[in-house]
Structure 1
Amino acid sequence: MSKKRIVDIAEELVMPVIRENNFELVDIEYVKEGKDRFLRVYIDHKDGITLDDCQKVSEYLSDRLDEVDPIEESYYLEVSSPGLDRPLKKDEDFERFKGRMVEVYLYQAVEGKKVMEGELLGLIDNHVAIKVNGHEIFELSRDKVAKVKLAVIME
């Protein structure tokens, strides 16, 4: 079964517990690392995520996955918060985090850089808009952007 299909099934199975607890489903990924496979579910909540929250979602999803059994090979299920460097995936993320510092990873360099850091201005016509160095504005086509995540600022 394709990775996308596994992710879609996992999303469908996990949504009842996500809705019931007013969590946000940030992302789901099914990846191979070395010889192991991982189904990772990232959840968030306006008040933050606790270990108990992760355990609740993990147990619920594990039971549903056992019933449906969509994954043929062995894998590890991990449920966690997205962390301080949360990825921005959905259109709503780009609106919610406007004004925050982000790191934008590009498939191909723009002005010699494959990673740009700047203030998120939002999405404009399916382009990620950021202000770099306080003045230079870049509008980067989403199909040229590998990932966008919140920057972790150390003070």
Structure 2
Amino acid sequence: MSSVTETVTEMIQPILDQKGFYLVDLEYVKEGSSWYLRIYIDKPTGIDIEECALVNQIVSEKLDADYPDLIPNAYFLEVSSPGAERPLKTEADLQRAQGQYVHLSLYQKLAGQKVFEGTLTDLTEQELTLTYRVKTRVQTLTIPRKNIAAIRLAIEF
């Protein structure tokens, strides 16, 4: 993690805690000739545009006042929701996703498949349990965490 992302993470965490938000991800990247500081936030009931704008304003003012030399070049500050089908990257993400519909990809086939969508029903240190449908039958599958290549929230149709 770069010093910019570490410093900004430490700086905004108390702000987010106070507002009842949590940090999903933070990145400082160059795209083309422009630099972007992107902050993805959420809360249990979902985040809205006004809340993103509020955090943007607070972070912008705090960076300008307390850390004027942290980012030496011009950049765009973006604060947004992580999206409806966001990746689940941390243990806290997985804990919050219990009971929700997820999409996961595996490194090796399990029950003849490498891709599953279903409800994350249980979570331990070593594995997770997914309840999913095969046509009209509901099935439950316990998946070792070490076999999970990627997991994200999904929209159930």
Counterpart of 2:57 in 1: which secondary structure?
helix
Q: Which moved more, 1:16-25 or 1:34-43?
A: 34-43
Q: TM-score, normalised by structure 2?
A: 0.73
Which of the two has higher C-alpha Rg?
A: 2
Match of 2:145 in 1: 141
- RMSD of aligned Cα (Å): 2.9
The residue type equivalent to 1:85 in the other structure is E
Q: TM-score, normalised by structure 1?
A: 0.74
Please, which runs of 5 or more residues in structure 1 have no aligned partner?
none
Deviations along 1:91-150, one digit per CA (max 9) or x if unpaired, are: 2332332232101245x45358664322213332243443444325142425x5454221
Matches within 5 A, 1:104-143: 104-106=104-106, 108-110=107-109, 115-133=115-133, 134-135=138-139, 137-142=141-146
Q: Distance between the aligned counterparts of 2:63 and 2:109, measured in 1? A: 42
Name the CA shift for 1:103/1:37 in 2 (closer, same or farther; >3 Å).
farther
Q: Distance between the aligned counterparts of 2:105 and 2:75, measured in 1? A: 28
Give the fraction of aligned pairs with identical amino acids, expressed as a percent.
Answer: 35
Of 5, 26, 29, the match for 1:28: 26
Asked if the contact 1:57/1:79 (under 8 Å) is kept, the reply is yes
The residue type equivalent to 2:109 in the other structure is V
Of 142, 153, 156, the match for 1:150: 153
Query: Paired residues, what number?
Result: 150
Please, which runs of 5 or more residues in structure 2 have no aligned partner?
none
